[in-house]
Chains A and B, each alone.
Chain A
Amino acid sequence: MKRIAVLIASLVMVSACGGGSPSSSGPAADETAPAGKVVEVSFWHSFAAGANQDATNVLVQRFNDAHTGKIHVTPAFAGDYDTTFSKIKAAVQANQTPSIVQIYDVGTRFMIDSKQITPMQKFIDEDKYTTDLEPVIANYFSINGKLDSMPWNNSLPLLYINRDAFTAAGLDPNKPPATLDEIRADAQKLTKKDASGQTVQYGFGAAIYGWFLEQFAARADVLMCNNGNGRDKDATKILSDSPQLVKVMDWWKQMLADGLALNTGRPTGNMQTAFKAGRVAMTLESTGVLGGFISGSKFQVGAGPYPRSEASTAGGPIVGGAALWIMNNGHPAYEQRAAWEFVKFLEQPDSMAYWHIKTGYFPDTKKSQEDPTDVAFRQTRPQFDVALQQLHAETTDKATQGCVLGVMPQARQANEVAMEQILASGASSKTALSGAVTSIQPAIDQYNQAVGAT
């Protein structure tokens, strides 16, 4: 009730000061904030205390300083990606959504279906704004060529290598393995045991993370869900049990069985620690951790493209990460405009370059990649160039666009259970991956039914 009253009051005020002075960006009169009132914009993000949160706060501060007396953005950590996603659902129930929320890639379909957001494309069209986004990044978040959200923190997975270990094993650190077979061959040379037969250094290791499975599918140029990865029309089935993914999991299982790889379970932090400590010589991780790897390791960190399971080089990893969404319900038009101003600010070349340097996430726009500070930064850290080269080398088709599915977060979870069954319980790859497909089916059906009904 109180919210509604406030809403009505603010609407009355908006119409009352319809003749107010238009601001520099020139929005329509009824979108102007009440005269003399600072527009409050709440912003939920998923960065826990650390480098990424610090960079977020600095950018927010810069924006607030530039908009004193007009717009004030208040950032709030809403928990990790999954938690934020759950929280936004609870917030919709309670009518307490923030103005802007950062939601991970796999939440895209749900956010659109929720009808709780104003499509980013509306603001882009109104302002005749050129996004200048790297096409492969825009690719994931665009449905039918339109952006519903603004990609913000985006990354690709890479193969990270311990260059010192490569040299010590007589391998060329400038030639990281490109295929699973090559990883296996190198891992045989990189795995070292001490006198008592204990393994002191494993050749390979990766967290049990469903994202990696999705990446292997895109890398092999196969779909992760039907109906063109949910791009042609709503997906009705996931395709985790494709022969390519069965092959990947068979390979991974054999690596563990032969003592060439280490399993540290699901938490990605465990494998990051093992890699930084030199216990694992090659690992799979996002470009987002590159900065942490370089500063946290005593050895030279190298990076190579995400490995492929097939001989063919078609396909490539999906640009993952998260995007910003502007919520509509309970947020007056002028507040949404203010939120859009903040989104535009984050996409500015200098903001994006700062973001890239501090976090390792991609400079999403072409102009930010040409920003002098970013160019200078990449000269000192060539590994970041590897990431960018992989981004530019991406082919764009439906497989590399990635699957959009309303219950994608749960589907990823089902895949992780299957990965655990294969890697930790010795289940057959085909059986476990097919099990993931069937176990998620009721959730997909229920979701599609619920969306179709509304």
Chain B
Amino acid sequence: MRRQPLVGALSRATGRERYSARETATAAAFMAPSLLLFTVWIFYPLGRSVYLSLHGNDLFGRPARFVGGAQFQELFASPSLREAIVRTAAFTVLTVVPGLVLGTLIALALQAPIRGIGVFRTLLATPFAFSVATASVIFQIFFNPGVGVFNAILGLIHLHPVGWLTNPATALPSVALASVWLQLGYNVLVLSAGLQGIPAEIYEAARLDGARGLTMARRITLPMLTPTLFFLLVVSTVVAIQSFGQIHILTRGGPAGATTTLVYSLYLNAFAFGSTNYGLASAQALVLFAIVVVVTALQFGFLERRVFYR
């Protein structure tokens, strides 16, 4: 059974013969629960965001007056939006790329036929079990410039201490480091499953044809792994763009705004320090939504054709 690329499958469905009323009813019945949840948790909030973004707020954040596009005007006029977008992009690249590369390398290493490999597999998948909050609090202790583990290690090899989260230059990469660790367990798990799914016959056939080591990895393993990698790329990009917990706990968007991503600046406008500018925050949320849609569409448009579906 050939798996269809998602976009292709959708476009092809329209060309098919029409479904009978009975089939449509069955489909609707199956979709009803998820549609209901989507309506409550996705569609309604989305509609509400549009409504709020067109209104100004009173003292308590209640929509008080219709302001049209004024919130969007204010948003696009301020340089902070562009800065936040650049920061979000940098953060996404810094978490997604290392997450995929390290995840693949670790998943490959975990295929090694040695005794007790199960222990290592379990250990390396454990980050998946950590909540963002727990991991961030632990990383905060590691990053502490005075008594943290990271600076202690640097001290052992006679390197100068680094102001991980206190220096604007290193804060974003440091938060990304914690995020990579958080994401890694899931990546390893999914990639390991992907590797196990590659049939042994293909390797055998390649070996008979004289393929070895790197050739095997480049010509067989990687192409066969592309569906998994593509899935992880899309999912972890969205996760990275929407990251909040680690930023909130580690830096609160600082120092001097160095880690104020789009999501965090939205939070600052809507909730932080007694702020209740829900209108401006909703406008930001819609911009964020548009960005996620565009990025995901681009990934499907440009990268998916390089994915090898069996």
Contact = CB atoms under 8 A, between A and B. Distances in A.
B257 interface: yes
Interface centre among B62, B161, B256, B268 (most CB of A within 10 A): B256
Interface stretch (A175-183, A241-249, A266-274): A266-274
Given A89-B276, A410-B273, A420-B255, A274 B147 contact: yes
Contacts of B256: 417, 420-421, 424-425, 427
A451 B59 contact: yes
Interface string B25-60: 000000000000000000000000000000000111
B254 A417 contact: yes
Interface in B260-281: 268, 271-276
Interface string B265-305: 00010011111100000000000000000000000000000
A96 interface: no
A263 B59 contact: no
Nearest to A110: B274
B255 A208 contact: yes
Interface centre among B147, B161, B167, B271 (most CB of A within 10 A): B147
Interface residues of B, number: 33
Interface string B162-173: 010111100000
A198 to B, nearest CB: 6
Contacts of B145: 262-265, 270, 274
A376 interface: no
Interface in A184-220: 196, 198, 202, 205, 208
Contacts of B144: 264, 270, 273-274
A86 B59 contact: no
Nearest to B56: A446
Interface of B: 58-62, 140-141, 144-147, 155, 158, 160-161, 163, 165-168, 251-252, 254-257, 268, 271-276
A90 B256 CA distance: 28
Contacts of A454: 58-59
B254 A416 contact: yes
Given A265-B254, A265-B255, A273-B147, A86 B140 contact: no
A424 B155 contact: no
Given A90-B61, A262-B146, A265-B255, 8 more contacts: A82-B273, A93-B61, A107-B274, A265-B145, A277-B147, A407-B274, A412-B273, A420-B255
Contacts of A279: 146-147
Contacts of B275: 86, 409-410, 443
Nearest to A450: B59
B271 A86 contact: yes
Given A92-B60, A266-B252, A425 B168 contact: yes
Interface of A: 82, 85-86, 89-90, 92-93, 107, 110, 113-114, 196, 198, 202, 205, 208, 262-267, 270-271, 273-274, 277, 279-280, 406-407, 409-410, 412-413, 416-417, 420-421, 424-425, 427, 443, 447, 450-451, 454
Contacts of A114: 59-60
B254 A266 contact: yes
Give the interface centre of A82, A107, A270, A443 by most chain B CB atoms within 10 Å: A270
B254 A420 contact: yes
Given A86-B271, A107-B274, A265 B165 contact: yes
A277 B146 contact: yes
Contacts of B62: 93
Given A198-B160, A266-B252, A451-B59, A409 B146 contact: no
A263 B257 CA distance: 16
A89 B255 contact: no
A263 B160 contact: no
Contacts of A409: 273-275
Given A85-B274, A89-B276, A425-B256, A270 B140 contact: yes
A341 B141 CA distance: 43
Q: Which of B155, B161, B166, B167 has the most CB of A within 10 A?
A: B166
Residue among B58, B140, B144, B160 having the largest count of chain A Cβ atoms under 10 Å: B144
Contacts of A93: 60-62
A112 to B, nearest CB: 11
A89 B254 CA distance: 25
A415 B273 CA distance: 12
